[in-house]
């Protein structure tokens, strides 16, 4: 089956990991072998980029930008519309490949491709709305306005957990804004990147898009560092851990470039005494175990009112006992594997830290073995009773470990929710209007995303996505996130017969 998927997506044998859209260039770096966490089988071998390969791609991208920026934005939008149609045609195969290479459930794999389609639709409309403002001048016979211009090359560094969707969030907006893109995908999921590049190649070739508008550089950590330090790339959008983001932000900032950072989350749901517990269970369980806890928006903490704590945790334990863990391509399973053995070891280490710091487990964790679990990457989602102040709770654990704790007052709950270094997503489950509004107020959640009666995971592309504090402060996807990919220019036109100065300054001679 996997061979059929690869063939349908144009992937066979050893692949070059360097492309400028129109051409797949010979790669001279190390071979990266993609192995599925589902069954520990090799998917494909990809030849990574050398520094010389990377420099060739950047030079081609620079030349492409000179032409691409002159294409009218609606025409660029039409290209993106066709990409969306191509993704619709390949949704089944690409969704299965996402699931198999990354390990997320098949429904989530399909959902990730749907996100790509949705952002294409959004970007098409955006291509006719890249608007500035007009302002009244204090000087007679003058007109002031602002306009937005493309930046140039957008560098995109994406993470394994959303191997294609986050790339599309950036690239589709960057393209309609008139930028060209260079994508450095996670070395853990290179094959899905190859598939996306081939899909876009076909659309670009049919429309005679210049070589170098869509570029792919597959490589290890070095490739991301080349991009971060490269003054030819004005914007670097990076998704990953806070540690990685700090390194990227420092490198880009040192050269006074721009960075768009989407980093770690430590997301909490407050379960009020006025919550609909049936609804809350669904939101909490999906948020905690979806993608095996490997989403930046995964629910890490449940802050539960003391009056419903026992009843809710009992229902939670029962729900966990009904989870089906196994091959994510089987749609009956809820939870797939972690990405690799290193992730499994980090999961086990976190469990030991919970115990050492005084926590106890309502649902025990562990690694699964036996038939169907040969890859060694399948683990049990677990639930730990903890205090919010534990060092391990303050850390983002990228695994299906859910921390539960009690609160007495809403003010206490909000303080606990905010008392972590990260600030991505948050939620409250309550039917109490006052509680909901307090949670959303300036004195409420300090996260970039705050939901009421919705879990922390599963954002729509229409809203800007991103967070505060150690989450990086970036915004991607919807709303006015497009502005990050453009430069603002203020223009003043004098159509009078004199030259008055601003602020009434006189300069006569």
| CATH of residue 283 | 3.40.309.10
Residues 438, 397 share a domain: yes
The reply to whether 508 falls in a domain is no
Rounded Cα distance between 19 and 12, Å, is 16
Closest by CA to 395, choosing from 427, 442, 429, 347, is 347
From residue 209, alpha-carbon distances to 10, 64, 65, 199, 285 in Å are 20, 9, 11, 14, 45
Strand, coil or helix: 98: helix
Q: What is the pLDDT of residue 214?
A: 98
Structural domain contains residue 144: yes
Contact between 484 and 149 under an 8 Å Cβ cutoff? The reply is: no
211 is known as an active-site residue: no
Query: Do 227 and 247 share a domain, yes or no?
Result: yes
Burial class (CB in 10 A: 0-12, 13-18, 19+), 257: buried
Nearest to 83 by CA among 273, 228, 213, 227: 213
Decide if 193 contacts 182 (C-beta within 8 A): no
The answer to whether position 465 is within a domain reads no
Residue 97's contacts (CB-CB under 8 Å, 6 or more residues apart) are 5, 6, 9, 109, 191, 192, 195
Looking at the DSSP bridge assignments, the partners of residue 15 are 46
Helix 165-176 with 73-102: angle, nearest 10 deg = 170
Same domain, 191 and 327: no
Any bridge partners for residue 271, and if so which? 304, 429
Other beta carbons within 10 Å of 243: 10
- Non-local (6+) Cβ contacts of 267 within 8 A are 287, 297, 298, 299, 300, 301, 422, 424, 425, 426, 427, 447, 456, 457
Residue 466 lies in a domain: no
Q: How far apart are CA 496 and CA 409, in angstroms?
A: 64
User: How many Å apart are CA 117 and CA 173, to the nearest integer?
Assistant: 13
| pLDDT for the residue 13 | 76
Domain count, the chain: 2
| pLDDT number for residue 12 | 81
| Domain co-membership, 410 together with 337 | yes
* Same domain, residue pair 444 and 339: yes
Domain membership flag for residue 495: no
**C-alpha separations of 388 from 300, 304, 307, 313 in Å:** 11, 12, 18, 17
Residue 286 and residue 362 in one domain: yes
- Regarding whether 303 and 247 lie in a shared domain, the answer is no
Active-site option among 112, 115, 211, 262: 262
- Is 503 part of a structural domain of the chain? no
Conformational region of residue 326, where left means phi above 0, alpha means psi within -120 to 50, and beta covers everything else: left
Please indicate, yes or no, whether residues 189 and 295 belong to a single structural domain of this protein: no
Query: Cβ neighbours of residue 3 under 8 Å, at least 6 residues apart?
Result: none
Grouping H, G, I as helix, E, B as strand and the rest as coil, residue 282 is helix
Strand, helix or coil at 341?
helix
CA 506 – CA 3 distance, rounded (Å): 77
- Which pLDDT value is given to residue 219? 97
The whole-number pLDDT of residue 459 equals 86
> In terms of residue numbers, what domain contains 409?
267-452
CB 94 within 8 A of CB 11: no
**What residues contact residue 77 under an 8 Å CB cut-off, 6+ apart?**
123, 124, 125, 126, 127, 128, 176
Tell me if 34 sits within 8 A of 191, measured CB to CB. Answer: yes
Chain centre distance of CA 205: 28
User: In this structure, are 277 and 236 located in the same domain?
Assistant: no
Q: Are residues 243 and 276 in the same domain?
A: no
Secondary structure (3-state) at 201:
helix
pLDDT value of residue 386: 98
Q: CA angle at residue 244 from 238 to 246, to 5 degrees?
A: 90
Q: How far is CA 91 from CA 37, 83, 87, 109, in A?
A: 21, 12, 6, 9
Within a domain: 301: yes
Domain harbouring 241, CATH code: 3.40.605.10
Instruction: List the chain pLDDT tens, one digit each, 509 residues.
Output: 788 999 999 998 789 999 999 899 999 999 999 999 999 999 999 999 999 999 999 999 999 999 999 999 999 999 999 999 999 999 999 999 999 999 999 999 999 999 999 999 999 999 999 999 999 999 999 999 999 999 999 999 999 999 999 999 999 999 999 999 999 999 999 999 999 999 999 999 999 999 999 999 999 999 999 999 999 999 999 999 999 999 999 999 999 999 999 999 999 999 999 999 999 999 999 999 999 999 999 999 999 999 999 999 999 999 999 999 999 999 999 999 999 999 999 999 999 999 999 999 999 999 999 999 999 999 999 999 999 999 999 999 899 999 999 999 999 999 999 999 999 999 999 999 999 999 999 999 999 999 999 999 988 999 999 999 999 999 999 999 999 999 999 999 999 999 999 998 988 88
- What dihedral do alpha carbons 189, 350, 385, 414 form, nearest 10°? -60
Instruction: Give the per-residue pLDDT at 509.
Output: 81
Extract the tokens encoding 252: 């880009």
DSSP annotation of 25: P
Regarding whether 168 and 34 lie in a shared domain, the answer is yes
- CA-closest candidate to residue 484, choices 297, 261, 296, 265: 261
In 3D space, the residue among 421, 482, 428, 434 whose CA is nearest the CA of residue 455 turns out to be 428
At residue 19, the pLDDT reads 97
On whether residue 459 sits in a domain, the answer given is no
Question: Could you tell me if 179 and 150 are in contact, meaning their C-beta atoms sit under 8 angstroms apart?
Answer: yes
Same domain, 390 and 311: yes
216 near 163, Cβ under 8 Å? no
């Amino acid at each position: 089956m996997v061979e059929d998927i690869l063939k349908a997506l144009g992937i066979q044998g050893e692949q070059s990991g360097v492309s400028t859209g129109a051409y797949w260039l010979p790669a001279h770096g190390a071979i990266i072998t993609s192995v599925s966490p589902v069954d520990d089988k090799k998917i494909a071998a990809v030849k990574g980029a050398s520094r010389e390969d990377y420099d060739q791609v950047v030079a081609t991208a620079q030349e492409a930008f000179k032409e691409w920026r002159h294409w009218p934005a609606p025409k660029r939008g039409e290209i993106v519309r066709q990409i969306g149609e191509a993704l619709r045609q390949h949704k089944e195969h690409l969704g299965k490949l996402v699931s198999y290479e990354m390990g997320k459930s098949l429904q989530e794999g399909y959902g990730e491709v749907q996100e790509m389609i949705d952002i294409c639709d959004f970007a098409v409309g955006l291509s006719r709305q890249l608007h500035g403002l007009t302002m009244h001048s204090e000087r007679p016979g003058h007109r002031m306005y602002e306009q937005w211009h493309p930046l140039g090359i957008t560098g995109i560094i994406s993470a394994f957990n959303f191997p294609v969707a986050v790339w599309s969030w950036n690239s589709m907006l960057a393209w309609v804004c008139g930028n060209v893109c260079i994508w450095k995908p996670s070395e853990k999921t290179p094959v899905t990147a190859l598939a996306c590049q081939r899909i876009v190649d076909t659309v670009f070739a049919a429309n005679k898009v210049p070589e170098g508008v869509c570029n792919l550089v597959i490589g290890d950590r070095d490739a991301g560092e080349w991009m971060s330090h490269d003054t030819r790339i004005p914007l670097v959008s990076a998704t990953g851990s806070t540690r990685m983001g700090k390194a990227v932000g420092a490198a880009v900032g040192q050269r006074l470039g721009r960075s768009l950072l989407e980093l770690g989350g430590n997301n909490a749901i407050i379960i009020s005494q006025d919550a609909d517990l049936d609804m809350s269970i669904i939101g909490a369980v999906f948020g905690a175990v979806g993608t095996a806890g490997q989403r930046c928006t995964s629910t890490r903490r449940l802050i539960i009112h003391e009056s419903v704590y026992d009843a809710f945790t009992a229902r939670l334990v029962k729900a966990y006992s009904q989870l089906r863990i196994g091959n994510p391509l089987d749609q009956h399973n809820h939870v797939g594997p972690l990405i690799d053995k290193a992730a499994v070891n980090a999961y086990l280490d976190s469990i030991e830290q919970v115990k050492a710091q005084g926590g106890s487990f309502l649902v025990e964790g562990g690694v699964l073995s036996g038939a169907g679990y040969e890859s060694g990457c399948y683990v049990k989602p677990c639930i730990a009773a903890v205090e919010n102040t534990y060092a391990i709770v303050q850390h983002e654990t990228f695994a299906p470990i859910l921390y539960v704790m009690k609160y007495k007052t809403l003010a206490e709950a909000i303080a606990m929710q905010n008392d972590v270094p990260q600030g991505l997503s948050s939620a409250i489950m309550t039917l109490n209007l006052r509680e909901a509004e307090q949670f959303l107020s300036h004195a409420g959640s300090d996260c970039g995303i705050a939901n009421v009666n919705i879990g922390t995971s599963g954002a729509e592309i229409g809203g800007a996505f991103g967070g505060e504090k150690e989450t990086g402060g970036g915004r991607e996807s919807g709303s006015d996130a497009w502005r990050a990919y453009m430069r603002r220019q203020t223009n003043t036109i004098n159509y009078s017969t004199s030259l008055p100065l601003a602020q009434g300054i006189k300069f006569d001679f």
